Amino acid sequence: MHSHLLMMAVFAFFVSLVFAVLAKDTAREQARLGGVMFAGFMLVGLVVSWLMFPFPLR
Amino acid sequence: MSPAPATTAEKTQPGGLVLLCLASWAIPGIGHIWLGRRAKGFVFLIALPLMFAIGLALHGRLFSFDTSDVLTPLEAGAQLGIGLTYFLAGPFGAGKGDVRAITYEYGISFLIVAGLLNLLVVIDAYDIALGRK
């Protein structure tokens, strides 16, 4: 697994899953919160990666 | 008139709370299963050790409590949050870390966050036992 995007997606999935199950009690609420959180993680990750694009490490 | 049924908080003794927290820390999700929240418990039981295992598979390093560096004990403490899995990884040769691997930093992130999430799960089980949730 060398794809940065895939690793970010896997990481976001697990964190969203645990937070959603902790915070909500019904499956419907958990799926909704988990989905929103996962989408938020991915969106913020992509936006931050594009913002960093003009500043290469070398 | 029959007395009101005892709440979870009334049934949980201090010794039981300590045991519950220890069990919940040692095996993620066991505390929730113990308290009757089986569905939540099984999600934690599968998701957190799997996240930790992915961290190991990504060549993440398990830190020891080496005080020569300020951050290392903090990282070790966070990883220790996953419970028994932390101690089981060593004898199986996992967690040595390969700094040359492109996934090394990702692996460490998975290991640390899995441990921290399990600590949140322990706190949640404690709150349920006290009748706060």
Our CA-based measurement puts residue A13 at a distance from the nearest CA of chain B, in whole angstroms, of 10
Q: Render pLDDT for A10-57 as a digit per residue (tens, 0 to 9).
A: 999 999 999 999 999 999 999 999 999 999 999 999 999 899 888 877
Q: Do B120 and A1 touch (CB under 8 A)?
A: no
DSSP H helical segments within B1-133, as ranges?
8-11, 14-26, 30-34, 38-57, 71-80, 84-89, 104-129
**Structure token pair of residue A47:** 């936006």
Mean pLDDT of B92-110: 88
Residue A58 pLDDT grade (very low, low, confident, very high; cuts 50, 70, 90)? low
| ipTM of the prediction | 0.86
> Which of B47, B103, B109 shows the shortest C-beta gap to A17?
B47
